[in-house]
Amino acid sequence: MAEVNTGDDGGGKKKHGKKRAKKSSTRIDMTPMVDLGFLLLTFFILTTTFNKPQAMEINMPVKDKIEDEKKNKVPAEHTLSLLLTDKNVVYWYFGVADPSKPLPSLTKTNYSKDGIRKLLITENNKRHNAFNQIEQWKKELAEKKITEDEFIEKKKVFHKQYAISSLIVLLKPDKDSNYKNIVDALDEMAICNIGSYALLESNDLENQMIANANTYK
Amino acid sequence: MPKIKMPKNSPSIDMTPMVDLAFLLVTFFMLISQFRAEEAAVIDMPSSVSDLKIPDKDLMMILVDKKDHVFFTITGQETRKKVLEKMGEKYKVVFTEEQKKEFSNMASFGMPMSQMKEYLAAGSTERKKLQEKSNGIPTDSTACELCDWVYYGRLAAIKYRVAIKGDQESSYPTVRRVMDILQDKKVNRFNLITNMETGPTE
């Protein structure tokens, strides 16, 4: 194979028959390449993560000292306080816990569908049918009857109109609660279409109330 | 008697389409995958129904892990370098050019400034050990290093989004402390990073 073909040699053969194509195959062995291909494929499939993490946005109030008179006063009868504590337990009460008055009684619940969500939806509906109304707009948005902007605008107007008479939820995690509880609670706010809610901290009185509720359990 | 003729077609099948497909998939996965430097903390995020996407760029992130250790990261190599320089000035730590470069390529970290130099000089296995021993970035009000990280981070890149990525089991007081620090630094709008949840469940 390595020798140089001379003119006579070929010429000599020509006399006998047709010119023959070289016999060596034109195929190359592609097995190693394919092996490598599959190796890479496996690697990339295993290392790729598809779902990007999601995020929820949260707006906190500006941390300036506000004088007591200028603070927003929230009507007590519409104020629902959720005390988030350990072991995924939530206590709730309406109104204000005032040490000079008899303390509101705590009701125990959890983050399940029949727990906190049921309560929030019923209470929200009691006030101007808020949950159903927004849910309907959400449905219209999903069916593309209204645009996203219209939806946001409608919601804004609705919340503004009933600002002082709709449900206000105060989330008060105590020191035993964990991050998941807060995210769950904020999530419930979104699911139950609560217009106004705030993330606060439980005060000493409320901690005492939780401790009492835990002992009588 | 004629010989029995063996069937002439070869026993090998044509694998070309399969190989084509395999390479197509390789190309696809190569193009969509993006490599991330290894995070210093393993974080198991809670899930939510929120469908807001978090951007990859222009993001300042504070991580809180299971043990309530706090980590910090910010995107952009230039920004990282700038922030580290400022922090070095404040805490009187001088970093070499190499260490700065190392820092700009790193993912999140949870080191107090006193150990930062050692951490940057160490190899990857060393670094893991150091990370395990440390208690994250100090957040207590007497020596609030996280405050400074956030402050210089904001200074270097004001337009950045701020996000908190917490573990499910991280305790509330720690997260609250981080939120308080953010509020002190006039960051009143931030994101909580969560996993996706499909619709209301449970």
Q: B156 in a domain, yes or no?
A: yes
Contact B169 A180 (CB under 8 A): yes
Find which of A35-39, A64-68, B120-124, B177-181 is predicted with most confidence, using mean pLDDT. Answer: A35-39
Can you say whether the dihedral through the CA atoms of B3, B7, B11, B14 is positive or negative? Answer: positive
**In terms of residue numbers, what domain contains A100?**
75-126+167-215
Could you give the angle at which helices B124-133 and B113-121 cross, rounded to 10 degrees? 160
Taking the whole predicted model, whether its pTM rises above 0.90 is answered as: no
CATH code of the domain in which A105 resides: 3.30.420
CA nearest to B53, candidates B160, B198, B201, B193: B193
Q: How far is A31 from chain B (nearest CA, A)?
A: 10
What CA–CA distances, in Å, run from B88 to A112, B52, B117?
48, 35, 10
Give A-chain residues touching B188 at CB under 8 angstroms.
59-63
Contact B200 A62 (CB under 8 A): no
The reported pLDDT for the residue numbered A7 is 45
pLDDT at B199 exceeding the cut of 80: no
- Percentage of chain B exceeding pLDDT 70: 90
Q: B175 in a domain, yes or no?
A: yes
Per-residue pLDDT 10s for chain A (217 aa) are 454 454 444 444 445 556 666 677 777 787 888 888 889 888 888 877 666 667 777 777 776 655 555 556 667 777 888 888 888 888 888 877 776 777 777 788 888 778 888 888 887 777 777 777 777 787 787 787 777 788 788 777 877 777 677 778 888 888 888 888 888 888 888 888 887 888 887 777 777 777 777 776 5
Contact map slice: B 152-181 vs A, CB within 8 A = 163, 165-173, 175-176, 179
The number of folded domains in chain A is 1
The number of folded domains in chain B is 1
Give A-chain residues touching B166 at CB under 8 angstroms.
179, 183
pLDDT at B117 exceeding the cut of 70: yes
Cα distance between residue B146 and residue B91, in whole Å: 13
Give A-chain residues touching B43 at CB under 8 angstroms.
none
The reported pLDDT for the residue numbered A10 is 43
Residue of B nearest to A63 (CA): B183
Q: A155 in a domain, yes or no?
A: no
Tell me the H-state helices in chain A.
7-16, 31-47, 118-126, 130-142, 148-161, 179-191, 204-215
**In terms of residue numbers, what domain contains B104?**
47-196
Contact B189 A60 (CB under 8 A): yes
Pairs from A132-137 (Cβ < 8 Å, separation ≥ 24): A133/A158, A134/A158, A134/A193, A135/A193
Length of chain B: 202
Q: How far is A63 from chain B (nearest CA, A)?
A: 6
Q: A147 in a domain, yes or no?
A: no
CB A18, CB A10: distance < 8 Å: no
Q: B60 in a domain, yes or no?
A: yes
Nearest CB among B19, B49, B64 relative to A179 is that of B64
Each residue's pLDDT tens digit, B33-84: 766 666 677 778 787 777 777 777 788 888 888 888 888 888 888 888 888 8
Q: A40 in a domain, yes or no?
A: no
Task: Write out the two tokens for A29.
Answer: 């062995």
Q: A100 in a domain, yes or no?
A: yes
